[in-house]
Amino acid sequence: MLDAKVSPQRKSAACAAHARRRFEELSRGGSSASVVATEAMVRWTRIYRAEAAFAEMGCDERRHARQVLSRPLWEEFEVWLKLQRTQVPDGTKIAEAIDYSLNAWKALTLHLDDGAVAIDNNLIERQIKPWKLGAKNWLFAGSALAGQRAAVLMSLVQSAKLNGLDPWAYLRDVLARIHTHPSHRLEEMLPHRWRPA
């Protein structure tokens, strides 16, 4: 969560996938599946289907499309969630799922007003998944410094991928040139600014 005192101009966006996942888990129970969760998943599907249609758009065009197509879906969903919340008992899993979404509503819908804000952070989570899965393997990196160096290297590899680079080609070029590159221009070697020699 952002500290308003440190970054007063920034706003926190919540991940729709985290809110959606709570309903998804409750909708997968066969005969014990929650009817409310199943209906919520239908509504989440509509929202995500609309969002998928905006994937190739620029930020301004995406913001406009979200205002026209997504905002009504979110507004209808909010009304529906509030109604459902009055009908489910406190302390139940479905009440917790609804409360989670409603309590984070402003942050969940922040993306509607800014085409540059993603609906969820799934892209980033997919990028860090290999490192999370290997965490036990790297538990004993040798020292805190070795762990920090491994983290820097992993960050560079993932940043290279995000910028459409072949990580091996990027690292090979940077490591070959870094000893002669001026230290005051090191930012030129970062993946988003790097140009091959």
Domain that holds residue 136: 122-189
Same domain as 108, residue 136: no
pLDDT, residue 122, reads: 78
pLDDT, residue 134, reads: 66
Instruction: Name the domain boundary from 113, 146, 178.
Output: 113
pLDDT, residue 3, reads: 54
| Residue at 1 is within a domain | no
Same domain as 159, residue 183: yes
- Per-residue pLDDT of 181-191, as tens digits, reads 988 998 899 89
Per-residue pLDDT, averaged over 131-145, amounts to 70
Same domain as 38, residue 101: yes
pLDDT, residue 127, reads: 72
- Per-residue pLDDT of 79-133, as tens digits, reads 999 999 999 999 999 999 999 999 999 999 999 999 988 898 877 777 777 766 6
| Residue at 136 is within a domain | yes
Is a pLDDT exceeding 70 seen at residue 7? no
Same domain as 128, residue 178: yes
Same domain as 130, residue 108: no
> How confident is residue 172, by pLDDT bands cut at 50, 70 and 90?
very high
Same domain as 137, residue 101: no
| Residue at 196 is within a domain | no
pLDDT, residue 144, reads: 77
Distance, CA of 172 to CA of 143 (rounded, Å): 25
Distance, CA of 53 to CA of 196 (rounded, Å): 35
Higher pLDDT, 4 or 180: 180
Same domain as 97, residue 56: yes
Domains in the chain, number:
2
Distance, CA of 50 to CA of 103 (rounded, Å): 23
Same domain as 134, residue 89: no
pLDDT, residue 4, reads: 54
In one-letter notation, the amino acid at residue 87 is: Q
Instruction: Name the domain boundary from 113, 135, 163.
Output: 113
- Per-residue pLDDT of 24-68, as tens digits, reads 999 887 665 689 999 999 999 999 999 999 989 999 999 999 999
Long-range contacts of 38-45 (CB under 8 A, 24+ apart): 39/80, 40/81, 40/84, 40/97, 43/73, 43/76, 43/77, 43/80, 44/16, 44/20
Is a pLDDT exceeding 80 seen at residue 14? yes
Inter-CA distances, 178 with 31, 61, 115, 166, Å: 61, 40, 37, 18
Q: Report whether 174 contacts 195 (CB < 8 A).
A: no
| Residue at 61 is within a domain | yes
Higher pLDDT, 12 or 20: 20
Question: The pTM is what?
Answer: 0.66
pLDDT, residue 91, reads: 92
Q: Report whether 66 contacts 57 (CB < 8 A).
A: no
Is a pLDDT exceeding 70 seen at residue 2? no
φ, ψ dihedrals at 92, nearest 5°: -85, 160
pLDDT, residue 135, reads: 66
Instruction: Name the domain boundary from 93, 113, 133.
Output: 113
